[in-house]
Amino acid sequence: MVSSASPLPAGEDVPVSALSRAQLIDVLTDTVGDLSKLDLSLNTDGVEDARRLRAGLIAQIRDHVLPRLADADIPAIVVVGGSTGAGKSTLVNSVLGQEVSDAGVLRPTTRTPVLVVNPEDETVLADHPIAQVCLTVASAAIPAGLALVDASDLDSVQETNRALAVRLLEAADLWLFITTAARYGDHTPWVSLEEAAGRGTPIGVVLNRVPATVLPEVRRDLIERLDALGLAESPFFVVPDAGPHEGLLPESSVGELRDWLRLLAGRHRAAGLVRRTGRGLWSGLRADLITLADGVDAQDDAATQLEEASQRLLKAPGADLRADVEQGTCGQGAPTTRWVTLASSGGPLASLAQGGRLRSGWFGRTRKARAEALATLAGDTRESIVSRLEAALVSVSDDAVRTWEVAGAAARAGELLPTGADATGVVDAWASEQHARVTAPPKGLTQPGAGDLVIAAAAGIEGARAAADRLGLGPVVADAKAALTQALIDVLAATVPAGAARALAPDPALAAALRLRAGELAPFTRPGASA
């Protein structure tokens, strides 16, 4: 563990890679485009890590790599980051010897990050992505070739602040990790430190506000933790606890840290820091792209599994509806009771039920009463079918939504799973078709009346079916039953359209594209290669 103010090892000039700088910029720009289109909405093993990796890669390439490739004169960016109350702003102000960032006892103080640049570097950083999310302060106190960012808190109570803090770390050429004796083991900052170490980002560590009484114990434990992350050689600084105070820290508390930062500054030294940042960048970036390509494959598998689960939801309700029609249970209950009433002795449908002659009556009144009775019977039949259909639709729809929620696709369910199917409209359309198919009604029945008899018979009212057979309408009834079964199955299937879940899968070409980008970066992972 380095505890002095010695600079990081000097960088070396290396030959330019096979890809030109312009070609590399194109490759990385395309990579950002591919990553931006990557939808990782489905729940898979490790998907949360993949989502963070995707967001981090976009930020790293957009905010760090591309600006650096586009303009080699950009100062090295040192991001001062840590947890709430670690004293980042006070430390930045004290190192620079002037108030450039608001500091105070209310937490979190730093809501808008502050980017401190030398006046010489202000213009070159004006269009940098980091400058778009920071308050830029030009100060001669910061050496040329170095920019200091007082970042938002990694564990801020505001999600936007936390996301911004992570984005700033992705843009860093060096991360100055600020922690305290009370907060150095906090989960969120430590996870960020692990990720930065894994990427090979140069890291300096400042143990701030540490009382002398606990310094040996805290220092030993923190160094052991850093060693476990492979950060044994990272610069390490201790800032004593100054107690309650306002303004800048004493010179003696921050002098070593200030001297170290000045050693990093200057155009040639800053360029060396940038090269060192890039040493592990390309290998890490390539590995991350391959990992995300695997994530695309996992999303595809999850979409296939959700598709299969969604279609299975239709089997039992579909089988029940089919059985209802085939076994005639749609006509049970109110429709059958209505038939018994209308077909009883003296009723308008008595002669129809008994197989007698269907008389027209005086001025056709008997035939008219018969037609009205059949219309009532058909109405009850349609209501019974609608009731069964609606129950099936609600059941399947609810099950589908729950299944998609478990899979992580609840947000897309409203878009891809239709709701509010018109069961009444479906059954009425089927009934209208049956009326139209009876072109030559039996004697004693009107054309609508004959159609209503077919509807009642197809639904399973036994007396209606027997009457239809006697009148030669048996084949029409059989066709009506088949048509009813198909209509019910079709509207049920429409609640979970085939292929809806598969539509959640990312474009399979995206996995190939990410692996292609990784392959294009392979030359930069070889010894002696550089952009």
Q: At 426, which helix (H) or strand (E)?
A: helix 423-437
For the chain, what is the mean pLDDT?
85
251 or 267, which is more confident = 251
Strand partners, 2: 235
pLDDT at 5 over 60: no
Q: Is the dihedral of CA 396, 402, 403, 408 positive or negative?
A: positive
pLDDT at 3 over 60: no
Taking only the tens place, the pLDDT of each residue in 371-404 is 999 999 999 999 999 999 999 999 999 999 999 9
Among 308, 291, 252, 315, smallest CA distance to 489 is for: 315
Helices (H), 265-349: 267-279, 281-312, 315-327, 334-343
Amino acid at 457: A
What confidence score (pLDDT) does residue 280 get?
Answer: 63
- Across 196-214, average pLDDT: 85
Cα–chain-centroid distance for residue 59? 17
Q: Which domains does the chain have, with CATH numbers?
A: 75-275 (3.40.50.300), 314-495 (no CATH)
* Cα distances (angstroms) measured from residue 520 to each of 27, 282, 376: 8, 11, 74
What confidence score (pLDDT) does residue 269 get?
Answer: 47
Question: Model confidence at 134, in pLDDT bands (50, 70, 90)?
Answer: very high
Taking only the tens place, the pLDDT of each residue in 316-368 is 999 999 999 999 999 999 999 999 999 998 889 988 988 878 887 677 788 88
Question: Model confidence at 18, in pLDDT bands (50, 70, 90)?
Answer: very low
Taking only the tens place, the pLDDT of each residue in 425-476 is 999 999 999 999 988 899 888 899 999 999 999 999 999 999 999 999 999 9
Among 449, 284, 420, smallest CA distance to 358 is for: 449
Give 66's contacts (C-beta < 8 A, 6+ positions apart).
25, 28, 29, 32
Torsion on CA atoms 378, 379, 384, 386, rounded to nearest 10: 110
Q: Is the peptide bond before 108 cis (omega within 30 degrees of 0)?
A: yes
CB contact at 8 A, 149 and 64: no
- What's the alpha-carbon Rg for the chain, to the nearest Å? 38
Q: Is the dihedral of CA 137, 141, 142, 144 positive or negative?
A: positive
pLDDT at 313 over 50: yes
Question: Model confidence at 526, in pLDDT bands (50, 70, 90)?
Answer: low
Question: Model confidence at 15, in pLDDT bands (50, 70, 90)?
Answer: very low
What confidence score (pLDDT) does residue 136 get?
Answer: 92
CA–CA distance, 351 with 370 (Å, rounded to integer): 9
pLDDT at 153 over 50: yes
pLDDT at 489 over 90: yes
- Give whichever of 55-64, 157-166, 299-308, 340-349 has the largest mean pLDDT: 299-308
Taking only the tens place, the pLDDT of each residue in 207-259 is 888 888 888 898 898 889 888 988 888 888 999 887 777 789 988 889 898 88
pLDDT at 160 over 90: no
CB contact at 8 A, 480 and 259: no
What confidence score (pLDDT) does residue 335 get?
Answer: 93
Length of the chain: 531
Q: Can you tell me whether residue 78 is helix, strand or coil? A: strand
> To 5 degrees, how large is the angle CA 495–CA 478–CA 311?
20
Taking only the tens place, the pLDDT of each residue in 24-60 is 888 889 899 989 989 899 999 999 999 988 988 898 8
CB contact at 8 A, 409 and 42: yes
Q: 146-150 and 114-117: which strand pairing?
A: antiparallel
